[in-house]
C-alpha cells in the first residue's frame, strides 16, 4: 500500500480554506515501478439508442466516408485519442445477446426485439465480425462481454472458440464459412454483466458459482490467452466484492469490475425522483421496467436533472458525487487486498460517467444527453483518480462512446461533433503506459454552505519513455483561479522546456453544439513556468490543464 500512501491527497478542511490560497504539490519518483495502464482509457459500446446503429454503424446510403457501414470520421477521431479498448455488446444488452444471431449472411440473421432498451428492432446487422472489423480500424483491443443471464457455458465456450481457435473444429469451420480465416485472438472476455441487477438479479454466492462454471469452459488457445473479467459490484456493495474474492479467488480471474455513475443531485430546481438502477441495491431495482412500471429487467434511472440547465448547487453536488470514486476504489481495493495482496486481479471500472436526463424530445430509453464543461471536469477528475490508483485499477470504460450518456462523440445525420469529454481524453493520452509518479497534494477547498467542502484541485502525473513529465490538473472551482506550486526536486530533473494546454469555458453549462462544434476545445496555455525545481501554474476556474516538462 506504500504507493497509495505516497499518493495521499491532503485536503485542507473548510475551516482552514480561507487561509489557503494556493495549491502545493510534491511529485515523487516511481519507487514501485508502477505504470498507468493504457486500458484505463477504454470505452464502451452497447446496443443502446444510437451508439451502434446511427453511431458507429450507419445507413449504407449516408453520404459520408465509410468502410462498409462503419462511419470513418468517428474512427479517425477515436484513433486520434489512441482508444486502447472497446467493450461490446453491453451492458445489460449482453445478457440477452446470443452471438450466433449476429454472424453469417445478413439475410439469414434474425430480427428481434431489444427488450432491454426501448423494445426497438434489433436486426443483428452489427455482430461479431462487424465489431471486430471496427476494432481493427480503430487499432484497439476488443472486450467481449459474454451472456451469463440467458446464455449457457456451452454458448460462451463456442463463442471463444469461434473467436480464437485456429485448428480444425466446427466453430473454426463456421468462422471461415463466414469469411474470416484467421482467429482474432481476443484477449479480454467479461463473464456476464451486472449480475446483481439486469444480468440476472443474482446473489453474489450464486454468481460466484456460475462464474466458476462458465470460467471452466472458456479455453485458452495457442496465442490467445483469455483475460477473464468477473461481473463485480454495484457502487458500494462491498459484500459482493468480498464474496467474489473469497469464492472465486485471484487465480480464476484477471479482473473484477465495478460500476459507478455520477448523478446530479440537489440544486434549487425540483428533480423528479424515480429510481436509479446504477446507484441502488439490486433489491431496490428488481422487477421494474425501463419505463418505471412493474415486470421488466433493466429498471429506469432516477431522473437526475438536465445535462445543460443546472445551477451551481447542482454542480457542487454533482462534483461531490464524482469525487466519491476515490472512496469506492479505496474500499473495494482494501477488500481485494485481503485475498490478493500481490494485486494480481485488476479492478476494472468498466462503466462510469455522468448520467443525466435525456435531451428533450428524444427517446427516454436511448439515453442521449448533451455534454458540458461540467462533464469535462468529471472526466478529468475521474481519470486522475484512476491514475493515482494504478496499482489496482488497470482497466476502465467510459459509458458510452457515441450518442449515449457521457459520449466522446455526438452525431446528427452527416454532422459529427467532439464533446468536451473527448478533449479531456485527448489531453490525457500522454499517460498511456507511462511510469506513474506519486504526488502529495495540498489544495484549498471549494465550499458551499450546507455541504462538506471539496478539494478544489486534483492532479496526477507520469513520465513517458522520452523522459517527459506530464501532469494533469483539474480545478473544479467554477469561480476562482487557483495558483499551484509543484516541487520537482525529488525527481532530480533539469527542466529545459515547459509546454501546457488548457480546456475551459466561460460557464460550466457550456457545450459544443452542431451549430458551434468547437466552442469548447483545447488551446495552448501560457500560465505555467518553472523557477529552478519549482513549477508554477495558474489554474483558471473550471479548467483541465496539461503541463509537459522536458
Catalogue the active-site residues. Answer: 194, 351
Distance CA 230, CA 211 (A): 7
Report helix angle 153-164 to 204-216, nearest 10. Answer: 40
Distance CA 459, CA 37 (A): 17
Distance CA 172, CA 162 (A): 6
Residue by residue, DSSP assigns 458-522 as: EEEEEE-TTS-EEEEEEE--SS--EEEEEE-GGGT-----EEEEEEE-S-TT-B--SSSTTSS--
Distance CA 509, CA 368 (A): 17
Residue 68 neighbours by CB distance under 10 Å: 11
* Cell (9 digits) for 340: 490478493
Residues 472, 476, 477, 479, CA torsion sign: positive
In degrees rounded to 5, what are phi and psi of residue 475? Answer: -110, 110
Residue by residue, DSSP assigns 111-153 as: PEEETTTTSEEE---S-HHHHHHHHHHHT-EEEEEE--SS--H
Asked whether 546 and 501 are in contact (CB, 8 A), the reply is: yes
CA 424 to chain centre: 13
Distance CA 294, CA 312 (A): 35
Amino acid at each position: 500500500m506504500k504507493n497509495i500512501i505516497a499518493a495521499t491527497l491532503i485536503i485542507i478542511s473548510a475551516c482552514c480554506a480561507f487561509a489557503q490560497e494556493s495549491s502545493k504539490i510534491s511529485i515523487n519518483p516511481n519507487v514501485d515501478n508502477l505504470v498507468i495502464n493504457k486500458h484505463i482509457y477504454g470505452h464502451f459500446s452497447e446496443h443502446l439508442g444510437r451508439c451502434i446503429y446511427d453511431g458507429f454503424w450507419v445507413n449504407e446510403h449516408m453520404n459520408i466516408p465509410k468502410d462498409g457501414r462503419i462511419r470513418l470520421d468517428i474512427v479517425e477521431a477515436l484513433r486520434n485519442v489512441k482508444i486502447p479498448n472497446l467493450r461490446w455488446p453491453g451492458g445489460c444488452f449482453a445478457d440477452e445477446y446470443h452471438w450466433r444471431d449476429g454472424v453469417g449472411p445478413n439475410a439469414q440473421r434474425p430480427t428481434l426485439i431489444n427488450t432491454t432498451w426501448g423494445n426497438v428492432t434489433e436486426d443483428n446487422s452489427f455482430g461479431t465480425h462487424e465489431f471486430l472489423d471496427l476494432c481493427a480500424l480503430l487499432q484497439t483491443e476488443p472486450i467481449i462481454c459474454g451472456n451469463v443471464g440467458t446464455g449457457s457455458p456451452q454458448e460462451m465456450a463456442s463463442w471463444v472458440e469461434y473467436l480464437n481457435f485456429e485448428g480444425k473444429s466446427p466453430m473454426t469451420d463456421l468462422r471461415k464459412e463466414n469469411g474470416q480465416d484467421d482467429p482474432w485472438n481476443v484477449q479480454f472476455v467479461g463473464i456476464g454483466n451486472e449480475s446483481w441487477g439486469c444480468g440476472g438479479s443474482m446473489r453474489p454466492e450464486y454468481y460466484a458459482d456460475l462464474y466458476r462454471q462458465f470460467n471452466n469452459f472458456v479455453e485458452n488457445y495457442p496465442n490467445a490467452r483469455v483475460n477473464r473479467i468477473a461481473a463485480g459490484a454495484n457502487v458500494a456493495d462491498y459484500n459482493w466484492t468480498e464474496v467474489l474474492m473469497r469464492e472465486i479467488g485471484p487465480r480464476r480471474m484477471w479482473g473484477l469490475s465495478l460500476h459507478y455513475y455520477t448523478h446530479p443531485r440537489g440544486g434549487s430546481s425540483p428533480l423528479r425522483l424515480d429510481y436509479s438502477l446504477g446507484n441502488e441495491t439490486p433489491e431496490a431495482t428488481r422487477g421494474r421496467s425501463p419505463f418505471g412500471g412493474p415486470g421488466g429487467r433493466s429498471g429506469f434511472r432516477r431522473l437526475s436533472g438536465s445535462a445543460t440547465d443546472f445551477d451551481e448547487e447542482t454542480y457542487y453536488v454533482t462534483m461531490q458525487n464524482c469525487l466519491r470514486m476515490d472512496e469506492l476504489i479505496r474500499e473495494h481495493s482494501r477488500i481485494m487486498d485481503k485475498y490478493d495482496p500481490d494485486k494480481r486481479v485488476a479492478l476494472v471500472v468498466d462503466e462510469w460517467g455522468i448520467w443525466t436526463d435525456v435531451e428533450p424530445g428524444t427517446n427516454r430509453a436511448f439515453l442521449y444527453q448533451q455534454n458540458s464543461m461540467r462533464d469535462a471536469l468529471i472526466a478529468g477528475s475521474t481519470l486522475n483518480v484512476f491514475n493515482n490508483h494504478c496499482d489496482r485499477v488497470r482497466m476502465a470504460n467510459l459509458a458510452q462512446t457515441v450518442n449515449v450518456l457521457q459520449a466522446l462523440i455526438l452525431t446528427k445525420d452527416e454532422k459529427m461533433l467532439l464533446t468536451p469529454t473527448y478533449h479531456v481524453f485527448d489531453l490525457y493520452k500522454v499517460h498511456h503506459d507511462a511510469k506513474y509518479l506519486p504526488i502529495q497534494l495540498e489544495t484549498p477547498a471549494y465550499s458551499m454552505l450546507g455541504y462538506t467542502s471539496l478539494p478544489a484541485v486534483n492532479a496526477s502525473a507520469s513520465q513517458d519513455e522520452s523522459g517527459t513529465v506530464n501532469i494533469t490538473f483539474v480545478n473544479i472551482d467554477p469561480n476562482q483561479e487557483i495558483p499551484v506550486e509543484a516541487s520537482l526536486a525529488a525527481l532530480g530533473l533539469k527542466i529545459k522546456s515547459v509546454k501546457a494546454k488548457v480546456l475551459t469555458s466561460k460557464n460550466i453549462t457550456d457545450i459544443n453544439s452542431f451549430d458551434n462544434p468547437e466552442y469548447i476545445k483545447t488551446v495552448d496555455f501560457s500560465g505555467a513556468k518553472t523557477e529552478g525545481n519549482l513549477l508554477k501554474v495558474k489554474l483558471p476556474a473550471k479548467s483541465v490543464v496539461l503541463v509537459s516538462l522536458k
